[in-house]
Homo-oligomer: A and B are copies of this chain.
């Protein structure tokens, strides 16, 4: 599958590298084409990897991952261009973490709205699926680095888009339990896990922590 990755941070690189290894044709996008970080990634990833602008990456992908910082995601997606996102599955991995008040960060939007919803409203023809925002990058693509049963949450308005993301998560990334939280308003609950996640990260001094739904 042709995949676009928006963002050249740890999340974008980790997802991109895994997807290349799985045989996908992955283009990483950043604000300007030819940046050192994206070029170095494409060289190291090998396979079908390339880099370009946000718009290049979005145009390339049948599925597009938003791996930008949550505070700039809407701007990055505007740079990617609505026409390059129309009809695409847009996997929103970002968290609207605001570090301006110091550590731990707070959320710049929560409770009555979410970044996932903001993105869906701003790009109504994109098929937004919120996913993977509740675990550290390495665990996104290799959940077994965290021992025992633990789950990943997804939500979104488009059932087919969600089914395709769930399929990728289970058959390609190895997630055993995907919990579908319903429509995109479920992004509020997924993003509001972050304060707990950050607290657990600080307590256990490890990012390899996740939640399991017992019932």
Chain A positions within 8 Å of B, measured between CB atoms, are 101, 106-107, 110-112, 146-150, 153, 179-182, 186, 188-190, 192-193, 195-196, 198-200, 202-204, 206, 208-215
B204 touches A215 (CB 8 A): yes
Partner of A147, one of B181, B202, B214: B214
Which residues of chain B come closer than 8 Å to A150, judged between CB atoms? 212, 214
Which residue of B is nearest A186, CB measured?
A: B199
Partner of A146, one of B110, B179, B195, B214: B214
A101 touches B112 (CB 8 A): yes
Chain B min CB distance to A171 (Å): 21
Q: A107-B111, A181-B199 are in contact. List 4 more A-B contacts (CB 8 A).
A: A147-B214, A189-B195, A210-B215, A212-B212
- In the bound assembly, the distance between CA atoms of A204 and B27 in angstroms comes to 38
Chain B min CB distance to A181 (Å): 5
Which residues of chain B come closer than 8 Å to A179, judged between CB atoms? 200, 203
